[in-house]
Amino acid sequence: MGGGSTLVPANAFKRGGKEILFKYRWFMIGADINVDEASRIKDVEKVNFLLSLLGRKRTVSTRESNSTDYQYENMLQLVENYKNRINFYNDDDTNTVTIKDQKNVENSCHEIYASYVNDDNNNDFPKLAKREHLHFLSKSFKTEFPGSYVVLDSSQTWILYWIANALMLLGVELEEEKEQIAKKVLVAQNNQYGGIGGGEGQLGHIASTYSALLVFSYSENKDFWSQIDRKKMYHWMMTDLKQPNGSFAMHKGGEVDTRAVYCALTVASMLNIMTPELIEGTAEWLGKCQTLEGGFGGSPSLEAHGGYSFCAVASLCLLGDPKTMLSKYCNLPNLIKWSVDRQGGIEGGFSGRSNKLVDGCYSHWIGGIFPFLEAAIQNDNNDSFKGLFNRNGLSNYILGCCQDIEGGGLFDKPGCRPDFYHTNYTLVGLSHCQHQYSFDYKKYELLKDKCLDAAAYCYDVKMLKDDSVIEFCKENMLRPINPVFGAVNGYVEAMRQFYFDSSE
Active site residue 353: yes
Active site residue 330: no
Please give the C-alpha separations between residue 476 and each of 90, 344, 482, in angstroms, as whole numbers: 40, 22, 19
- In Å, the largest CA–CA distance within the chain is 93
**Of 257, 321, 412, 453, which residue is the catalytic one?**
412
Active site residue 419: yes
Report helix angle 97-117 to 70-83, nearest 10: 140
d(CA 219, CA 180): 9
Please give the C-alpha separations between residue 461 and each of 167, 397, 440, 491, in angstroms, as whole numbers: 20, 23, 10, 15
Task: Tell me which residue of 5, 9, 80, 82 sits closest to 46, measured CA to CA.
Answer: 80
Q: 410: left (phi > 0), else alpha (psi -120 to 50), else beta? A: beta
d(CA 227, CA 88): 58
**Of 110, 422, 435, 479, which residue is the catalytic one?**
422
d(CA 277, CA 275): 5
**Of 109, 263, 311, 361, which residue is the catalytic one?**
361
Active site residue 235: no
Active site residue 14: no
**Of 305, 391, 413, 496, which residue is the catalytic one?**
305
**Of 40, 251, 259, 353, which residue is the catalytic one?**
353
Active site residue 362: yes
Q: What DSSP letter does each residue of 393-420 carry, written as one string? A: HHHHHHHHHSB-TTT--B-SSTTPPP-H
d(CA 404, CA 416): 9
**Of 419, 440, 466, 467, which residue is the catalytic one?**
419
Active site residue 356: yes
Using CA atoms of 252, 256, 258, 259 in order, give the dihedral in degrees to the nearest 10.
-40
Which helix (H) or strand (E) covers residue 48, if one does? helix 35-53
Active site residue 383: no
d(CA 12, CA 356): 40
**Of 72, 329, 362, 491, which residue is the catalytic one?**
362
Please give the C-alpha separations between residue 447 and each of 450, 453, 454, in angstroms, as whole numbers: 5, 9, 6
Q: Is residue 258 within 8 Å of residue 308, measured between CB atoms?
A: yes
**Of 232, 235, 323, 356, which residue is the catalytic one?**
356
Active site residue 412: yes
**Of 359, 402, 435, 457, which residue is the catalytic one?**
359
Q: Is residue 326 within 8 Å of residue 290, measured between CB atoms?
A: no
Catalytic residue positions, numbered? 305, 353, 356, 359, 361-362, 412, 419, 422
